[in-house]
Structure 1
Amino acid sequence: MRLEQIETFPELKDGKCREMQAFDDHIVRTALWPATTPTPRGTICLLQGRAEYIEKYYEVVSELRAKGFAVATFDWRGQGGSDRLLENPRKGHIGRFSDYGRDLEQFLHEQVLPDCPRPFFALAHSMGALILLNQLPRLRTIFDRAALSAPLVQLATDRRKILGKRVSQITIRRLTGLARLLMMGQKFALGVDKRSVTGSWSFDTNPLTSDGPRYDRNRLFLEAYPEKGIAGPTFQWVHEACKAMSNLQSSDFQSAVHTPTLMMPVGFDQIVSSKATAILAQTMRCGHAITIAGSRHEILMEKNIYREQFWAAFDAFIPGSKDD
């Protein structure tokens, strides 16, 4: 396994690309970068969203290292440079959402804790934030703080449609559960992109970013390395994601989270519900929320005017030591 490069990406030659053999023998691609300063401020564990890949975050890795942090990251099973779970490599699939969490814990214990400087912080986007949130009660002794970019707390209204009609997330969960019972769990969910790994949107219609150069950069990478991309999710993935989101509403879960957590929803998110994120931040004892007004879903792939707001909040929230 290796890290790929295209001309428009920052060069990060000193990153170490590794393999991690997961509990069920699937291979997960990981990467570690040292800090660029002689006295590191700690390590950021960078957790990507659905259908993403390590290389997409080269710019973010460069920025974090410039702030004095080491960076540790990996591709979730079933996407990026990690093993696919089905014969069709374009399907976004998962057996159980807890499998993601097991991979995260293994990565932390096998590669981050022994090889990276303390203290440890998490920066997670969308699906990565959902996975992290569900694991935080178990990771309270590892992460000092967590910053979440547009976390997948609840699907946006426009994502909850069947045959053009809006439905509740509970209905989505029940219908995808029925699909599993009918042995359709490994089939693409209704209405998702089944072919394109670069997305079915043009730049003008995409819900992810309003920044043309960054959008084109990521599109060109997947055109050069289509094996790093995936298309839409399966019924099973949607069902498991809905279960994981539902768990966040549990009072038992919320009372078990002790890690200070900053959630950064955006003002123009067509993928996840920013309102639900703000509510969750209010109900969690250690939760806080700052909305990045005007940004689309992928804050870190957005125009600089939005990214600067994100980094200002991040810098104020995540210190390099417990004494800051």
Structure 2
Amino acid sequence: MSQAAPYHADIAGNSDGICHWLTTVDGVRIRVGHWPTPNAQGTVLIFPGRTEYIEKYGRTATELTKRGFACVAIDWRGQGIADRLLPNRAVGHVDVFEDYQLDVKAALLHVKSLGLPEPYHLLAHSMGGCIGLRSLYEGLPVKSAVFSAPMWGIKMSPALRPIAWGLSSVSKQLGFGGVFAPGQQAETYVLRATADDNTLTSDTANFDILQQQLKVQPDLALGGPSLHWLNESLREMRVLAQRPSPDIPCLTFLGSDEAIVDPTRIYERMANWPNGELVVLEKGRHEVLMEVPDIRTRVLDGAAALFSAHSPEMA
């Protein structure tokens, strides 16, 4: 059963979004938004990254609806205005990484109840790429998948990696799993960084949009991850890395200046993905969907072409 939820059209750059509250089977309230379009040839399931929220994808939804696809996006548990899981709402946290699959299942039931058109396609960014890969293994009913800088590994120095594993592994047993991981803090990265030195986008106008969104709607902001989230994510990525790539048409975009996720893991995965292609975008940073216009357009056109090729009208 869904209920109407807020959609902040003033910051989304798109007035057509409609949001609902959903309750997952384990009792967590999440928010799901959708953007319908007449005569859509399918529906794109947008899986956002860590710290992200539905309105961040309003402009992406505009471009995809222009290209003939309805869209759906999720506020994952622990971020956006979905239920936060710790008393300190600034800490990014999840109890078990696979709990995100409960959010996926609730969203999928909602999509079906809305009657949004099939086939479905996946567009997954960063942490959403890790969640999305697990979803594909669990039978997510999509005909194709596009990944943007997927979190199949986290970029960190070789010296830091064993410390991250060790400290995060004992954090829950010792009762400090809910504290920030080393180097993380309550203030969200977008408001700490500048247009010149941020690792997200080289497009200053789009970076300004990100900052303004969180200044206008501060409840959407999220700080760094907890030690427990770090351990859960490391474990999930290790498990997924041991599995062969799904046999589904796939296109993955990676900026050449990526500084957040581990490019090596992406290269390795895509080198062994049947019907998969990796596109490296010169001078692109982490958020290729919010990059300079030529990069952004290349990603959107490439995604739409793959989706269209695997939709009935274009098959």
Same fold (TM over 0.5): yes
Contact 2:45–2:122 (CA<8 Å) still a contact in 1?
Answer: yes
Kindly state the Cα deviation for residue 210 of structure 1 after the two structures are TM-superposed.
Answer: 0.7
Aligned to 1:280: 269
- SS of the aligned residue for 1:122 comes to strand
Which of 308, 317, 321 aligns to 2:311? It is 321
1:116-172 per-residue CA deviation (whole Å, 9 max, x = no partner) reads 1011001010000110101212225x100010000011112xxx25xxxx4364552
Q: Partners of 2:259 and 2:251 in 1: how far apart? A: 21
C-alpha distance 196-110 of structure 1, shift in aligned 2 (>3 A): closer
Q: Which runs of 5+ in 2 are unaligned?
A: none
Code of the residue aligned with 1:48 in structure 2: it is P
Alignment gaps of 5+ in structure 1: none
**Given residue 210 of structure 1, which amino acid in structure 2 is its aligned partner?**
S
Partners of 1:240 and 1:194 in 2: CA distance: 20
The partner residue of 1:3 within 7, 11, 19 is 7
Structure 2 counterpart SS, 1:6: helix
For 2:244, the aligned partner's letter is: Q
Which structure 2 residues correspond to residues 206-225 of structure 1 after superposition, within 5 A? 206-225=198-217
Q: 1:312 to 1:15 in 2, by over 3 A?
A: closer
The answer as to whether partners of 1:89 and 1:230 remain within 8 angstroms in 2 is yes
1:231 corresponds to which letter in structure 2? G
Shift of 1:313: 2.2
**Alpha-carbon shift at residue 214 of structure 1 (Å):** 0.9
Q: Which amino acid aligns with 1:146?
A: A
Cα distance in structure 2, aligned partners of 1:69 and 1:315: 8
More deviation, 167-176/294-303? 167-176
Residue in 1 aligned with 2:231? 239
Deviation at 1:268, TM superposition (A): 0.4
Q: Which residue of 2 aligns with 1:79?
A: 79
1:145 aligns with 2:183: no
Aligned 1:44-59 pairs, distance under 5 A: 44-59=44-59
1:149-164 counterparts in 2 under 5 A?
A: 149-156=148-155, 160-161=156-157
Q: Distance in 2 between matches of 1:190 and 1:49?
A: 20
> How many angstroms apart in 2 are the aligned matches of 1:113 and 1:3?
19
**Which region of structure 1 is more displaced relative to structure 2, 304-313 or 47-56?**
304-313
Residue type at the aligned position of 1:272: V
C-alpha distance in structure 2 between counterparts of 1:263 and 1:238, whole Å? 24
The residue type equivalent to 1:11 in the other structure is: N
Aligned mates of 2:250, 2:219 — CA distance in 1: 34
3-state SS, counterpart of residue 205 of structure 1: coil
Of 250, 265, 270 in structure 2, the residue corresponding to residue 261 of structure 1 is: 250
Tell me if the contact between 2:54 and 2:75 (Cα under 8 Å) persists in the aligned partners.
Answer: yes
Instruction: Check conservation: 2:201, 2:207, Cα contact below 8 A.
Output: yes
Could you say which residue in structure 1 is the equivalent of 2:122? Answer: 122
Corresponding position: 1:292 with 2:292:
no
Equivalent position amino acid for 1:3 in 2: Y
Distance between the aligned counterparts of 1:185 and 1:119, measured in 2?
A: 40
- Structure 1 residues 23 and 170: CA distance shift in structure 2, 3 A: farther
**Hey, what's the Cα distance between the residues in 1 that align with 2:112 and 2:165?**
35
TM-score by length of 1: 0.90
Q: Which amino acid aligns with 1:182?
A: L
Is the 1:254–1:285 contact (alpha carbons within 8 Å) kept by the matching residues of 2? no
User: CA, structure 1 residues 199+178, in 2 after alignment: closer, same or farther (shift >3 Å)?
Assistant: farther
SS in 1 for 2:32: strand
C-alpha distance 47-283 of structure 1, shift in aligned 2 (>3 A):
same
Matches of 1:168 and 1:289, distance apart in 2:
28
Tell me what 2:292 maps to. 303
Tell me if structure 2 keeps the 8 A contact 1:72–1:112.
Answer: no
Contact 1:197 1:229 in 2 (8 A): no
Superposed CA RMSD: 1.8
TM-score, scaled relative to structure 2: 0.92
Cα distance in 2 for residues equivalent to 1:261 and 1:170: 32
The one-character-per-residue Cα deviations of 1:201-232 (angstroms, maximum 9, x if unpaired) are: 12211100011111111111101111111100
**1:144 is aligned with what amino acid?**
K
1:259, 1:227 → 2: CA distance? 37
Q: Is the 8 A contact 1:207 1:296 kept in 2?
A: yes
CA distance in structure 1 between the partners assigned to 2:304 and 2:83 by the alignment: 34
Pick from 26, 31, 34: which aligns with 2:33? 31
Partner Cα distance (2:21, 2:113) in 1? 16
Aligned-partner Cα distance in 2 for 1:88–1:115: 37
Whichever residue aligns with residue 16 of structure 1, its letter is: I
Aligned-partner residue type, residue 128 of structure 2: G
SS at match of 1:204: coil
Q: Which residue, 146, 149, 164 being the options, matches 1:172?
A: 164
Residue 178 of structure 2: aligned partner: 186
Q: Identity rate of aligned residues, in percent?
A: 29
